[in-house]
Structure 1
C-alpha cells in the first residue's frame, strides 16, 4: 500500500471519529500557556479553527494583549507554503482556500513561533494534516522558527505514515500537557 493511500485511510478514520469539546479546548489552552513561553514581542503563527478543530482564539487574544504579533495563515495554491497576515481582535477576516479564513491585512514577515494544528499525531512527533503539505512546506521554509504542534490527546495514534518531505515536530502539546516524544527506532 502506498504512503498516500495509508495517509488517506488514516485521515478518513480520524475525521470520522473527531469530536470537539469546548472544555478540552480550555484545557489545551491552559496546557499551552503552561508549557510554551514565547519571548516578549514574538511573532506567533496561529490558525483560525476549522469546524471540529481545537479553538485557540482565546489564546490569540491573550497573546495579542501581551504584546505579541499574532499572524494567521493564508492557504496559498497547492504546492506553496502558507503566507501569514497580521491579526488583531476585531480585524476583518476573509475566506480562503479549503474553508479557511485569514485576516484581510497585507502579508507580513513570517512568524518566529508556529502553532501547528493536526488531525493525528504519534509519539515520535509525526503529524497528519489534511493532505496538502502546507505546514511541511512552511516549516521547511522557516528553519529558524520554533514549531509547536497542538491537538487533543484523543488524536494520538500508534503511528503516522510519513515520507521524506514530512517534518517531524519537536514538541506536541495536548490538553494533558506536552507529549513525551520518543526517538524513532
Structure 2
C-alpha cells in the first residue's frame, strides 16, 4: 500500500476515534492545557478555532497571559500565518470554513496548540493531509525556539502514526487525561 493509502486508512480510523471521544467530552477537557500554558505566560500563543469534532482549546486560549493568534491559510501548500485573536472578536469564514479574525493583525507564535487526528508517543501527529502545520513548524523552528503542543482526546492516541520525512514532531501532547512530554 502507498504512503497516501496508509495515511488515508489511518485518518479514517482516527476520525472515528475522535468522533466517539467528542461525544463523551466533559467540561474539564482544557484544564491540563491551561496548566501547561501557564508556564508560557507572556509568550505569543497560537491556538485554533475548533471545527467539527476537534477538542476545543478556546477556554485555555482565552485564559492565556499573552498575545493569542489563530491560523490563517494564505494559499495551498504554504505555511500558515497567524492573526491576533481576542475572545469576542468579530470573526469571518476563512479557508476550509475555519473562522479567522475579521481584522488581520499578524503575530508570530512562540507556542502553538496544534490540532490533530491522531498522535503517537514518538511525538508525531496525523493531520488532515495538507501539510500546513508541518511547513509552518519547519519555518518557525528555523527562526528560533518554538513549542508545539498537540491537543487531543486521549482516545486519539495511536500505536504508531504513519510518517513522511517532512513531518514535524510535537514537543508535548496534552489530553484530558494527562500531559505527554516528549
Same fold? TM cut 0.5: yes
1:79 corresponding residue in structure 2? 77
1:94 corresponding residue in structure 2? 92
Mapped pair 1:49 → 2:50: yes
Aligned partner of residue 149 in structure 2, secondary structure: strand
Aligned partner of residue 29 in structure 2, secondary structure: helix
Say if 1:60 and 1:40 are closer, same or farther in 2 by CA, change over 3 A. closer
CA displacement at 1:5 relative to structure 2:
1.2
Aligned mates of 1:36, 1:177 — CA distance in 2: 14
TM-score, with normalisation over the residues of structure 1?
0.88
Aligned mates of 2:24, 2:89 — CA distance in 1: 24
Say if 1:40 and 1:159 are closer, same or farther in 2 by CA, change over 3 A. closer
CA displacement at 1:55 relative to structure 2:
1.0
Say if 1:3 and 1:90 are closer, same or farther in 2 by CA, change over 3 A. same
Q: Please give the residue correspondences for 1:106-117 in structure 2 after superposition, counting only pairs within 5 Å.
A: 106-117=104-115
1:157 corresponding residue in structure 2? 158
Aligned mates of 1:119, 1:125 — CA distance in 2: 13
| Cα-Cα RMSD | 1.6
TM-score, with normalisation over the residues of structure 2?
0.90
Aligned mates of 1:87, 1:74 — CA distance in 2: 11
Say if 1:39 and 1:121 are closer, same or farther in 2 by CA, change over 3 A. closer
Question: Between Structure 1 and Structure 2, how many residues are aligned?
Answer: 177
Say if 1:49 and 1:8 are closer, same or farther in 2 by CA, change over 3 A. same
Aligned partner of residue 35 in structure 1, secondary structure: helix
Unaligned runs of 5+ in 2: none
Pick from 126, 129, 133 the counterpart of residue 135 of structure 1. Answer: 133
Unaligned runs of 5+ in 1: none
CA displacement at 1:42 relative to structure 2:
1.3
